[in-house]
Amino acid sequence: MFLELKDLRAGYGQVEVLHGVSLHVNKGEIVSILGANGAGKTTTMHTISGLATIMSGSIRLADEEISKLPSHEIVTRGLTQSPEGRRVFNSLTVLENLKLGAFTIENKKLINESLDWIYGLFPRLYERRSQMAGTLSGGEQQMLAIGRALMGQPEILLLDEPSLGLAPLLVKAIFETVKKVNENGVTILIVEQNAKAALKIATRGYVMEMGRIVMEDSAENLLANPSVQKAYLGH
């Protein structure tokens, strides 16, 4: 297992949000976490990235325990996150935002290779590279947030609500790109309100309710599951 959460209890300060979460992601997979608002999906992502308080349990990445590591150390282990709500630096250019994502890389050649790859994935970012990030559309900002996370050359990418607030056509484009990123060898854990779109590209999925995992199955089976369809797929 590449990433493994075992009996994880975590939250913010004294407030426990995750009540014994166990899940795993194998190398090369796309794994999706489904659940209603407030189910604990984003807290799961924050906990993996070192941004929430762990009360008990473990997080292992490539056989190393990372639950005690600060977030900047976790990034150097090959794990990056594209946060919910995009959170780009509005007063910096597209290129400056992207370069911030490479803060752990000292080799200029590698940084330029990453830039070329990201511009290939998102040609719009290349066109807008000198533009202030705050002037981009929502879809372009989402591309930038994903691009910035990829600049660190991660082995595993955490994507939190990549399609939030985007037009259907852009959602399709974002998910096609996520699939391409995965085909380039990046393992992906995705949290997404658009359950159907996420499951269509995923290998497996987990369903969360009230800070607990209540179901785990192949993406195909979850798409066909009547209770999942009713709760999350709008059937």
Q: Residue 32: pLDDT above 90? A: yes
Q: Residue 189: pLDDT above 60? A: yes
Q: What is the distance between the alpha carbons of residues 205 and 228, in angstroms, rounded to a whole number?
A: 11
The residues with which 5 forms a beta bridge, in sequence order, are 23, 59
pLDDT of residue 233: 81
- Strands 64-65 and 53-61, by their bridges, are antiparallel
Residue-range domains of the chain with CATH: 1-78+155-164+189-235 (3.40.50.300)
Distances, alpha carbon 219 to alpha carbons 27, 44, 91, 228, in Å: 16, 19, 39, 11
- What does the buried/exposed string (b/e) look like for 10-23 if buried means 16 or more CB atoms within 10 Å of the residue's CB? bbeeeebbbbebeb
Q: What φ, ψ does residue 182 adopt, rounded to 5°?
A: -65, -40
Cα maximum dimension of the chain? 51
Contact status, residue 31 vs residue 45, Cβ threshold 8 Å: no
pTM of the model: 0.93
Q: What φ, ψ does residue 232 adopt, rounded to 5°?
A: -125, -15
Contact status, residue 11 vs residue 53, Cβ threshold 8 Å: yes
For the stretch 105-123, pLDDT in tens is 889 999 999 999 999 999 9
For the stretch 59-96, pLDDT in tens is 999 999 999 999 999 999 999 999 887 789 999 999 99
pLDDT of residue 106: 87
- How large is the average pLDDT for residues 155-181? 92
The amino acid that residue 56 corresponds to is S
DSSP secondary-structure letter at 214? E
In the predicted model, what is the mean pLDDT of the chain? Answer: 93
List helix spans (H) across the chain: 41-48, 71-76, 94-100, 108-121, 123-127, 138-150, 168-183, 195-201, 219-224, 226-232
Q: How many CB atoms lie within 10 A of CB 48?
A: 26
The residues with which 215 forms a beta bridge, in sequence order, are 207
What is the end-to-end Cα distance of the chain in Å, rounded? Answer: 34
Q: How many CB atoms lie within 10 A of CB 166?
A: 19
pLDDT band at 18; cut points 50, 70, 90: very high
- How large is the average pLDDT for residues 189-203? 93
Q: What φ, ψ does residue 234 adopt, rounded to 5°?
A: 70, 30
